[in-house]
Homo-oligomer: A and B are copies of this chain.
Amino acid sequence: MTSQQDLLDTLAQVARALGNGHRLALLKRLAQADASVEVLANTAGLTVGNASQHLQQLRRVGLVTATRAGKQVIYRLTDERIVTLMELLRQVAETNLAEMERLVSRLFADDNAGGALEAVSRDELLAGLKRGEVVLLDVRSEDEYEAGHLPEAINIPLTHLEDMLDRLPRDREIVAYCRGPYCTLSHQAVQRLRQLGYQVKRFEEGYPEWKAAGLPVTGQASRS
């Protein structure tokens, strides 16, 4: 059963090739069009020699291929799925690295007036919604929102928060929620919106808990 580990080691090689910002920049450029070493070096802000070395690492694991065209060597992506792979990596990183940012956020939060990020309980939220005093904000991704969300929630993915501020009222209390108590998207949203002067609190639970409690949800299919 060592072959299993061999396979994982091979995968790890490919992942390591992706594990460098400059190489990702090169790949990103190649996703747009094939290019020579010099062009790639310029767009990635590298010296030609250095770019060449990085490109060869990418080539070693089969992510790019090189063909000579006269004096130049043209690199191209071996497989279009590499773009998908990078996009998925970005998605996973974007949502999960919140953990890191949370630590930073905490420092900020502690600077504020003590429990600046205090959370709204389920009962409080229900009461506020009933009285029409509260606007719900779903800061998860669009996909997740479409798969199901709290009734009348506005969806602004955290990544687009600043772009879509016009959807948020300034004169009402906003309650932001995300995936649950261990998800930190809403923490960040609250923090950023506070700085912009909004009245925001965080729902202490999240969509999964809400749904599991049998409360009404809006959306398409159900997910296990």
Contacts and interface: CB of A to CB of B under 8 A. Distances in A.
Interface in A21-45: 21-25, 28, 45
8 shortest A-B CB distances, which residue pairs?
A62-B96, A16-B19, A9-B21, A15-B18, A15-B19, A62-B99, A8-B21, A14-B93
A195 interface: no
B18 A97 contact: no
A112 interface: no
Each complex incorporates copies of this chain amounting to 2
Interface of A: 5, 7-25, 28, 45, 59-63, 65, 78-79, 81-82, 84-86, 88-93, 95-100, 182
Contacts of A9: 21
B99 A11 contact: no
A29 to B, nearest CB: 11
A97 B12 contact: no
B19 A99 contact: no
Contacts of A19: 12-13, 15-19
Contacts of A182: 65
B86 A99 contact: no
A98 B92 CA distance: 27
Contacts of A15: 15-16, 18-20, 24, 89
Nearest to A147: B80
A85 B88 contact: yes
13 contacts: A5-B21, A8-B25, A14-B89, A14-B93, A15-B24, A17-B19, A60-B100, A62-B95, A62-B99, A63-B92, A63-B96, A78-B95, A85-B85
Contacts of A91: 81
Contact of A16 (B16, B59, B97, B100): B16
